[in-house]
């Protein structure tokens, strides 16, 4: 789906697409009642939203029938879902938020984040997962015991250490 089209989707439309995407992945199709339950809205609200999404070419829907995503709808839903997952991972893995809070906050934040921010967050989460010191530092931070003050000298040593280890691993591959 073109970036311009994605930008024109409302937060609500993105939520509907993401819900449909999750239901289709789990059940191969989505139903109005399943979407209503997932989003905690009434079935008439779902029907109205599906009409708009259908007119935009994002869902296949006829009244009283199963709902599926078009290719464009699937692409938009995957983009929203990916953003949600990246933000959720950052909030839980890096900041140490509990899963429920991380998920709720990610749901609200995903609509405001642009593609560049999501890419940087994704890269940071991956770095954090791979850095041998990151987990130790986060654990200390989460426990309120972090007394280390970041400094260019200290961080430089860490980066040099990590770089050497990554180079050794790469040579061994």
Using one digit for the tens of pLDDT, what is the confidence trace for 43-60?
Answer: 999 999 999 999 999 999
User: Which of 97, 112, 130 is the C-terminal boundary of a domain?
Assistant: 130
Residue stretches of the chain with pLDDT short of 70: 1-7, 131-170, 172-173
Distance CA 118, CA 86 (A): 7
Token pair listed for 170: 């790469």
pTM of this structure: 0.69
In this structure, what CATH number is given to the domain that contains residue 110?
1.10.10.10
Q: CA nearest 118: which of 90, 78, 77? A: 90
Q: Quick one: 11 and 28 in the same domain?
A: yes
Domain span holding position 49: 1-130
DSSP code at position 144: T
Tell me the percentage of the chain whose pLDDT exceeds 90: 50
pLDDT given at position 28: 86
């Amino acid at each position: 789906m073109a970036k311009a089209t994605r930008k024109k989707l409302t937060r609500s439309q993105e939520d509907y697409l993401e819900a449909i995407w999750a239901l289709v992945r789990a059940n191969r199709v989505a139903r109005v009642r399943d979407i209503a339950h997932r989003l905690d809205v009434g079935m008439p609200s779902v029907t109205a939203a599906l009409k708009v999404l259908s007119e935009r070419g994002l869902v296949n829907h006829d009244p009283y029938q199963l709902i599926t995503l078009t290719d464009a709808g699937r692409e938009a839903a995957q983009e929203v879902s990916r953003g949600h997952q990246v933000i959720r991972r950052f909030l839980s893995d890096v900041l140490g938020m509990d899963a429920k809070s991380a998920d709720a906050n990610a749901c609200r934040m995903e609509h405001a984040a642009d593609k560049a921010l999501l890419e940087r967050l994704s890269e940071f989460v991956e770095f954090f997962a791979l850095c041998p010191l990151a987990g130790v530092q986060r654990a200390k931070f989460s426990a309120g015991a972090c007394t280390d003050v970041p400094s260019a000298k200290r961080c430089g040593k860490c980066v040099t250490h990590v770089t050497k280890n990554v180079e050794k691993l790469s040579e061994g591959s």
